[in-house]
Structure 1
Amino acid sequence: MNEFDKDFLSDLEEAETKFSGWDFSFISDTGRMRSGLTSWSYGSMATSLKRNAEALLDMGTGGGEFLSKLSPFPETVFATEGYEPNLPIAKEKLEPLGVEVFTFEEDSDLPFDDNQFDLILNQHESYSPMEVRRILRKDGIFLTQQVGGLYCLGINAALGLSGNTEYQEWNLDTSVQELSVSGFEVLFRKEEFPVQRFFDIGALVYYLKAIPWQAPDFSIHEHKQMLYEIHQTIQSTGFFDVKQHRFVIKARAI
């Protein structure tokens, strides 16, 4: 076995490192994966809106990493999380801060009262426009940053896997149309395709383990040859690039 193959196998072995929540710091903070910037900052927008909010909901809080950094909070603040592995992580992080975390089964049936919130944040979480409108007060704000249906399909192509066709039409225009017919006025909208760059094959595998819905049929064993070919690309060019797909919408309940 040459050194090239040893690096490849070592990277795959390291990618088995335990993952929890949505904390990508294992590969992002070490510079093994870098995400291109959008022209907007969801965090800055959320921080600004939070200052004038009385009742805040964070939809799809993940492990609570983002919401915990918005402290101090408005008088009332709740979070939802529908992905079971994240629930104990989110509760451990957020409940000491006074944030109650709710689970749910259907986007169309959230455990909240009509007109309960004046600010709803949603970062990369699915939602029902009608249900969001139901729990949002008149003139309340819904801020969402979404992952579009074309997100990182270059990974799937390189592995010989099809993308999730159910979501490939999920984009800015579709979302704006749905919100507009559900009782919202769209105040701000933008859609971009920044680069996602991986600097070693272990970082890519780690990433795919963290978000298994990107390539549900992926396995290291079944796709080892394709991974090796991506590894060769990284060795020759220094990186493996794919395109993200993101859009952001700020809408007011009317």
Structure 2
Amino acid sequence: MSASSFEELVAEASAAPVDGWDFSWLDGRATEQRPSWGYQRLLGDRLGAASAALDVQTGGGEVLAGAGNFPAAMAATESWPPNIAKATELLHPLGAVVVAARDEPPLPFADAAFDLVTSRHPATVWWAEIARVLRPGGTYFAQHVGPETVFELVEFFLGPLSEDIRRKRHPDVERAEAEAAGLDVVDRRLERLRMEFFDVGAVIYFLRKVIWTVPDFTVDRYRDRLRELHERIQREGPFIAHSTRVLIEARKPA
């Protein structure tokens, strides 16, 4: 492909909207294996058995909306204004209240307000706050991004990462943090999943949307590396990376 094709891919991906947590723009341009456990289905089961639930860092609300089975009291938090608007539009008709809240303590709810707290791919996990807002006997149920997720892509842009960074989000670390907050971890599963990026536009879109992957990412800052990546994909085929996902369920003692 010509240099102009690279510029076209860059322009297209740079202009694509990245609000919400819908990745359909990547259809045909990137793939990612899904965890075997089916988080959204399991989430629906737990929501159906709850009386008051909170979904933390709900994004655009797509995963929560698809789970259904909302309890009588259903709330969600989100910090990014475009996502707050999208989640409100999607979840309010279903009976959920979306609360604008920063991704840091405290959560804007009273102690023991919920018997279920959930989250899918939270950027940060504040275990003490989760424990605080859970009722005795309540449950935290979540799918977290695991350790070394997409590190092939991260290191392509940032270079080799330290072992300390590689240990972040490790299930053993999260178990210790949950237990330190007074929660009992009753289920914990880890899977490593294959990802493929078929063009450089897919990479740009992904990095613009999942902003913590390469935190200082902009097209201008990494244009030379993006061009190298484009040429590599043209030469060798899809860029292969791997994500990790952790299913975790923790309970507050009764």
TM-score of the two chains, using structure 2 as the length reference:
0.90
Structure-1 residue corresponding to 2:60: 63
Structure-2 residue corresponding to 1:141: 139
Deviations 1:165-197 (A, max 9, x none): 768522100111111222222111012221221
SS in 1 for 2:139: strand
Amino acid at match of 2:231: Q
Moved more, 153-162 or 10-19: 153-162
CA distance in 1, matches of 2:158, 2:103: 32
Deviations 1:175-230 (A, max 9, x none): 11111222222111012221221111111111111122211222223322221222
What does residue range 98-109 of structure 1 map to in structure 2 within 5 Å? 98-105=95-102, 107-109=104-106
Structure 1 residue 26, shift from structure 2 partner? 0.8
Sort the Cα spacing of 1:176 and 1:162 in 2 relative to 1 into closer, same or farther, 3 A.
same
Unaligned runs of 5+ in 1: none
Structure-1 residue corresponding to 2:5: 7
Structure-2 residue corresponding to 1:123: 120
2:45 is aligned with 1:73: no
TM-score of the two chains, using structure 1 as the length reference:
0.90
Calculate the aligned-residue CA RMSD, in Å.
2.1
What does residue range 179-190 of structure 1 map to in structure 2 within 5 Å? 179-190=178-189
What does residue range 29-178 of structure 1 map to in structure 2 within 5 Å? 30-105=27-102, 107-125=104-122, 126-161=124-159, 168-178=167-177
Count the aligned residue pairs. 250
Structure 1 residue 78, shift from structure 2 partner? 0.4
CA distance in 2, matches of 1:42, 1:145: 7
CA distance in 1, matches of 2:101, 2:166: 21
Sort the Cα spacing of 1:62 and 1:252 in 2 relative to 1 into closer, same or farther, 3 A.
same
8 Å CA contact 2:20–2:82 kept in 1: the answer is: yes
Structure 1 residue 85, shift from structure 2 partner? 3.0
8 Å CA contact 2:44–2:69 kept in 1: the answer is: no
Percent identity for Structure 1 against Structure 2: 32
CA distance in 1, matches of 2:184, 2:215: 36
Unaligned runs of 5+ in 2: none
CA distance in 2, matches of 1:7, 1:106: 39
Moved more, 82-91 or 162-171: 162-171
